[in-house]
Structure 1
Amino acid sequence: MNKLLFAGLLLALPLSLAAAPQSVNVPLPAPSATPSAAPTAAPTAAAAFAQLDPAQQRQRRSDYAAWRALPEGERERIRQAAARFAALPADQQQRLRAQFQAQDQAFREGWRLGPQLGAEFPKLHGLFGFVPPQQRDAVLAVLRQLSPSQLAQLALVAQRTPPQERDSVRSAFLTVPAAERDTWLKRQAGQ
């Protein structure tokens, strides 16, 4: 399946699936409400949240935290994709949802990192899919600093790294100063 198709689907899900929160696997943006609509919208959202079972509430909180962690530029890209997705016919939306849900969970979860990292996450998963929780924020900060070409090089490094060397390669990468990352990536990727 085309990466862009899945990217568009995932990026559109936060807004288009608001009516079916149980099936949402991506962060939901805060709704933009007019001041006059805010008093009636908040109790409705709170009531809907209260109706969810504890696992669904945890998922929603996790989705929202992932959404808030994204840079604003990536959130805007997601909003635009959601608008395009919402404009599709209902049968096409459903077909895209089904295709996305049929994908491996690791693939789907990678898109929670946003459009830029989500596109490369299946390739980066070997090095960064199992980062200790205490390192997660630092790792994401470094990954979000990378250019698309650097991410592509890092994906190549990740794919070529044997499982027994992943921790040491990841640690080495994270210690490289930003000014030296291009050189390190090129050397590791054999370019």
Structure 2
Amino acid sequence: MSKPLLLALGLGMTLAAHAAPESVALPLPVAQGAAPAPAGVPAMPTTPAALDPAQLADLRHRYALWQALPAAERAAVHAAAQRMAALPPARQQALREQFASQDQRFRAGWLLGPQLGQWFPKLQGLFGYLPAGQRDAALASLRQLNIDQLAQLSLVAQRTPPQERDQVRSQFLALAPGARDAWLKEHVGH
């Protein structure tokens, strides 16, 4: 994973962590001298009353994703946010703009944390559009995978034709954790 993307992820996830699901605590105000939001990105309102329903829903969604991250990944995101905060304002702004220029699906994948975020663009074919009943199970299953398994699953996702994605995903999600290695090896062709 590239350092700039990890830093941007750290910033985004840390800001998301400040939002509570029921009583929204907005991100801390931008420090004096800090870079403004990237061009084309509206500034975050400074009071909960100023949030429109879509912004409030987005903050709640981000907070729920933050809460779902394993403690080790939250710690990695906090460390990345600290490294980001230590950078000169111009470098922070450049990293924010670089991240904002990425495809929305790519940026959204990073909300799943450092480990899944780096694999999400390749996994999106299988896991980007899930029926509501499969979302929690899919995320739990993906979080249990190690790096090698995620790499194999990304190959499966890339090789699976669109008309077979639902079937392949359902097969994968139905597997017991101990059966995943054999299934992945069979589907990757090793």
Shorter-chain TM-score bucket reads 0.7 to 0.9
Residue identity matched to 1:28: A
- Unaligned ranges ≥5, structure 1: 19-26, 32-41
Alpha-carbon distance in 1 for matches of 2:53, 2:67 = 21
4+ runs of 1 displaced by more than 3 Å? 42-45
Identical amino acids, percent of aligned pairs: 54
Alignment of 1:157-176 (within 5 A): 157-176=156-175
Q: TM-score of the superposition, structure 2-length normalised?
A: 0.82
The CA deviation string for residues 125-162 of structure 1, in whole angstroms up to 9 with x for no partner, is 00000011121001101100001110000001100111
Residue identity matched to 1:186: K
- The corresponding residue for 1:12 is 11
Alpha-carbon distance in 1 for matches of 2:151, 2:26 = 45
CA shift, 1:44, in A, is 10
The CA deviation string for residues 91-128 of structure 1, in whole angstroms up to 9 with x for no partner, is 11101111111111110000111111001000000000
- The corresponding residue for 1:150 is 149
Alpha-carbon distance in 2 for matches of 1:161, 1:147 = 21
> SS of the residue aligned with 1:79?
helix
Contact 2:6–2:77 under 8 Å retained in 1:
no
Greater helix proportion: 1
The CA deviation string for residues 6-33 of structure 1, in whole angstroms up to 9 with x for no partner, is 1321122344xx5xxxxxxxx22469xx
Residue identity matched to 2:92: Q
Q: TM-score of the superposition, structure 1-length normalised?
A: 0.81
> SS of the residue aligned with 2:187?
helix
Alpha-carbon distance in 2 for matches of 1:94, 1:186 = 43
What is the number of equivalent residue pairs in this alignment? 169
Alpha-carbon distance in 1 for matches of 2:120, 2:139 = 12
- The corresponding residue for 1:28 is 17
Alignment of 1:33-182 (within 5 A): 48-182=47-181
The CA deviation string for residues 39-96 of structure 1, in whole angstroms up to 9 with x for no partner, is xxx7998x72222222211211111111111111111111000000000110111011
> SS of the residue aligned with 2:87?
coil
Contact 2:13–2:62 under 8 Å retained in 1:
no
User: RMSD between aligned alpha carbons?
Assistant: 2.2
Alpha-carbon distance in 2 for matches of 1:71, 1:43 = 23
Residue identity matched to 2:17: L
> SS of the residue aligned with 2:77?
helix
Alpha-carbon distance in 1 for matches of 2:26, 2:159 = 51
Alpha-carbon distance in 2 for matches of 1:159, 1:4 = 25
